[in-house]
Every structure is written in C-alpha cells, then in structure tokens.
Amino acid sequence: MSVSILVGAQFGDEGKGKIVDYISAKADMVVRFQGGDNAGHTVVNEFGAFKLHLIPCGIFKPSCITLAGTGMVINPDELLHEISDLEANGINTSNLYISSRAIILMPYHIQLDCLSESSGRTGIGTTKRGIGYAYADKARRNALRFEDLLDLEYCEHRLEMVLPTVNAELVAKEGVPMGKIELLQKLRAWAKLLAPRIVEPVSFVNRAIDNGLEILFEGQLGAMKDIDLGIYPYVTSSNPTAAYAAASSGFPISKITEIIGVLKAFSSAVGSGPFPTEIKGNDADVFRGSGQNIDDEFGARTGRPRQVGWLDLPVLKYAATINGFTSLAVCKIDKLDMFDEIKICTHYSLDGKDIDYMPSAHQLEKVVPVYITVPGWKTETRKIRNFDDLPQNARNYLNIIEKATGVPIKYIGVGPSRDEIIVKSVSK
Ligand code: GDP
Ligand code: IMO
Ligand code: MG
C-alpha cells in the first residue's frame, strides 16, 4: 500500500504531468485533488503529446482508476471535451470518475473572471477559466456540486437560489446576466453524459486505501501560488500543497507514505506577482525557446510566454518546509546543458539584511537575490539514464538542491518524454 502525493515546488509548470505519467505505471489510482482547467499538465508518451487540464495524468494506464477529486472546480464542458479528445487518440476513459462533492464551474464563473481581468483592477493575470469565482461560490455556499446533477429538480432549486446573486454581480461588472432556462439545459445535458461517472468520494478513496492500492494524488500549480502560503494576492484560489490532498479527499494524514515535490532545474512563472530570480533579455530567450517545441516555456493552458529565472533555493526550502517532501523530482536538467556558468540564488537580502524566511509578496518585490555561480557541464544529458553517467558538474548542481532542501532527489528529467528520465536510488 502506498499513498503518495505529488505537488509543484515552485510557481507551477514544474513538470508534474510528466512525472505523474511516469509514476502511474505503478499506480492503481490517481486522484487530482485541487484546481480546475487552469492546469496544463504536459504528457509525452507512446500515445502522443497531450496537455491535460482536468483529467489525472494516470489516464494513460488502462487499469488505473482516475478520480477528479472533491477539491476541484470542474467545467463540465471542458471535461467532456478532454474526454473526447483522449478517446479520439485511442485512450480509454471508462476508468475516469468524478467526486460527487466536486464543484461545478459554471459559465458565469468564466464570464466574471474575464470581466475582472479585463477591467485591469485585480491585475492577478489569471488563466481566465473562472477558477477564483467558482471557489468563491464554494466558500459562500452558492456553488452547485456534481451530486446535484443526480437530482435535476434539486439542481433547478439550487440554481434559482444562486442566480439572483450571480446576475447582480454580472450586471455590476457590466456583464451579461444569465437565464435559468439556458443554464438548466446545460445542467441536464451534463447530467446525461456525466452521471455514470459520479461517485461518493470519501468511501471511494478510503476503500482503495484500506484495500492496499497504490494511490497517487496529483496536485496542480505550485507552492508559491497557494492561497494561504503563496504570494497572495497573486495566487490561485485553492491549496496546491500536499496536506490539502488529505483535507479535501477525506482520508487521515497518517496514511500518507510519500510526498514528492516536483521542480524545474531553473524557475518559471506565468501571471503577475513577484518573481525574484527573473532573467531578462537574451538568456531568457534561450531558456524559453521559440514556442515550436513541446518543452518551450509557454503556458500549457494559455500559451502565454513564461517568465524564466535562475534556480531559487529559498523557494525550494520554503516549499519543502510547508509540504514535508520525502523526495524530489527535478525536471529539465537538460535545459541547462549549454550554459558555461549557472547562477543559483542561495538566499534573499531585504533592506540590506539577509533573511531566512519567505516574506510577503509585497516584500518579495523588494528582495535582492544573492547568487552563487557554478560551472555548467556543456554536455548533452538527454540520452543519459543513470545518475552516475551525468557529468560531474550536473551531479554537483543536483547535490546543491539536495543539501539546501534536505530532501533526496529520486527522479531527474532529461527530456519531455516519459522515458527521458533518470531514477536515482534513494537511501532511506
Ligand atoms: P506541469 O504543469 O507541472 O505538468 O508542467 P507543464 O506541462 O505545464 O510544463 C512543463 C514543461 O516542461 C512541458 O513543456 C513538458 O513537456 C516539459 N518537460 C517536463 N519535464 C521535462 C524534462 O525533464 N526535460 C525537458 N526538456 N522538458 C521537460
Ligand atoms: P499547472 O497545474 C502555472 C497562475 C495564473 C495566475 C494565478 C491565478 O499547469 O502548474 P487562476 O486562473 O488559478 O485564478 O490564476 O495562478 N496559474 C498557473 N500558473 N501553471 C498552472 O497550472 C497555473 N494555474 C494557475 O497564471 O498567476
Ligand atoms: Mg502546467
């Protein structure tokens, strides 16, 4: 039996999709535990190249059960679109289930998110997928859940209760109010297509744990965009940190056996907010690429160019502290192959003083990152499959990450495909 949780250790887009796809070879069940279709998880395997937004990346293993979990906000249209996309590529989705307690992300959530973003007042740089508004409705108890689709009369009643508030907000933002009839039509269609996949999640997950299955919980985004612990307000509206897998799924934290932190060998971010180790100019273009390749630094959800930066150890140490990582997966080490020298931020200085904590977003805008410079390895790593075959300078780079975080590295990504990976033995 194992209950593993995999989360992003930086600002999102660390390579979670690739690692989940690899690890699911051994999993019986993969559960996405938060977020919505703001996620873009890239998987490159024998079936092709995919960017998954809602469906757990364990879907490619036919015997693996996948669950879109309780902590998620799910746009049913997007989910149906993703299901048919996968099916069209020969992937069987009959093992995909949806938590009855997951929130239905409605068309008005998207409209409200787009209106807020285009007003320029919030400046968060969201993915415009309605995520914040769906979670806001959940918190103010105005949301519809997937269980409501199983009783359309109750669904209509819930809609009648929430629509006046929703429409008042739409009108205040100069949006288009939404009618009950058109929304009910949508809800009816979603019920017809998705009802067979809806399950009671607490018994579903706990039964799997009690039966000794290998279960992996897949997080979305990364530690620095956690609503409580990240760079508030430039965060998402859920908790992409490990403990939320247990809190939202309803299993005891004592059952967790492994917490895997996924990181990029450098840093990247999309959206607004502080990003201390940002690189600008030519070096940034080298990191980012042209957008032609699957692993270029452009948002897998929005296509926006990502900001890129040097590795930020304070971010990794903070992520390790708040998540309790038991192992790390370092992706994209191959993207550093061509550098003569590589910079690593060891700590921040704020108002002339070194600090040893993660400051607020407002203070983070003002910190000065303090760097060490290490020699690059100038050797192609993409074909390497054993840790000992990596150039010494690459091993030194990875050792610096292990030493700073106190967490052993288990996986090293050397390319976007499933098999472009080094599995390092971790001494217990
Ligand atoms: P996620 O949101 O954490 O799943 O990450 P994304 O899929 O948004 O972004 C990660 C990007 O890095 C994708 O383009 C992946 O194909 C790519 N990628 C992941 N691991 C590696 C790796 O080890 N090497 C290279 N070159 N690309 C990788
Ligand atoms: P994955 O799972 C990178 C960012 C947005 C914005 C902030 C809030 O692929 O790592 P939201 O739409 O959630 O209200 O936007 O969070 N963001 C992501 N950045 N990867 C993601 O997902 C993201 N999901 C949200 O850019 O800054
Ligand atoms: Mg992504």
Q: Which of 51, 127, 331 to mutate to test ligand 2, by most ligand atoms within 8 A of the CB atom?
A: 127
In the prediction, which pLDDT does 427 show? Answer: 59
User: Could you tell me what percent of the chain has a pLDDT over 70?
Assistant: 99
pTM (two decimals): 0.97
- Which residues lie closer than 8 Å to 80 by C-beta, 6 or more apart? 190, 193, 194
Q: Delineate the domains of the chain, giving CATH numbers in brackets.
A: 2-98+199-259 (3.40.440.10), 103-195 (1.10.300.10), 265-315+334-403+416-423 (3.90.170.10)
Report the sign of the C-alpha dihedral through residues 120, 124, 130, 135, in that order. Answer: negative
Which residue's CA lies nearest to atom 17 of ligand 1?
295
Helix 107-119 to helix 152-172 angle (10° resolution) is 10
Distance (angstroms) between ligand 3 centre and the Cα of 394 equals 25
Instruction: Give the separation between CA 421 and CA 417, rounded to whole angstroms.
Output: 8
For 368-384, write each residue's pLDDT tens digit: 999 999 999 999 999 99
CA–CA distance from 420 to each of 73, 75, 212, 261, 426 (Å)? Answer: 32, 32, 30, 18, 19
In the prediction, which pLDDT does 157 show? Answer: 96
Which residue's CA lies nearest to atom 26 of ligand 2?
271
CA 84-86-87 angle, to 5 degrees, is: 60
Report the sign of the C-alpha dihedral through residues 240, 244, 249, 253, in that order. Answer: positive
Instruction: Give the separation between CA 62 and CA 299, rounded to whole angstroms.
Output: 28
Average pLDDT, rounded, for the chain = 96
Q: Which of 6, 18, 262, 410 to mutate to test ligand 1, by most ligand atoms within 8 A of the CB atom?
A: 18
For 353-410, write each residue's pLDDT tens digit: 999 999 999 999 999 999 999 999 999 999 999 999 999 999 999 999 999 999 999 9
Distance (angstroms) between ligand 3 centre and the Cα of 17 equals 8
User: Quick check: is 41 catalytic?
Assistant: yes
Count of beta carbons in the 10 Å neighbourhood of residue 255: 15
For 167-176, write each residue's pLDDT tens digit: 999 999 999 9
Distance (angstroms) between ligand 1 centre and the Cα of 385 equals 18
Question: Is pLDDT at 284 greater than 60 in this prediction?
Answer: yes
Q: Which of 41, 109, 226, 312 is catalytic?
A: 41
Q: What band does 287 get if pLDDT is binned at 50, 70 and 90?
A: confident
For 143-198, write each residue's pLDDT tens digit: 999 999 999 999 999 999 999 999 999 999 999 999 999 999 999 999 999 999 99
For 13-47, write each residue's pLDDT tens digit: 999 999 999 999 999 999 999 999 999 999 999 99
In the prediction, which pLDDT does 342 show? Answer: 96
- Decide if 87 contacts 146 (C-beta within 8 A): no
For 88-122, write each residue's pLDDT tens digit: 999 999 999 999 999 999 999 999 999 999 987 77
Pocket of ligand 2 (CB under 6 A): 8, 12-13, 38-41, 124-127, 129, 131-132, 220-221, 225, 234, 236-237, 270-271, 300
Q: Which of 20, 55, 270 to mutate to test ligand 2, by most ligand atoms within 8 A of the CB atom?
A: 270
Which ligand is nearest to the Cα of residue 112, counting in written order?
2
Burial 387-396, CB ≥16 within 10 A → b, else e: eeebbebbbe
For 67-95, write each residue's pLDDT tens digit: 999 999 999 999 999 999 999 999 999 99
Which residue's CA lies nearest to atom 13 of ligand 2?
236
- Decide if 38 contacts 221 (C-beta within 8 A): yes
In the prediction, which pLDDT does 426 show? Answer: 66
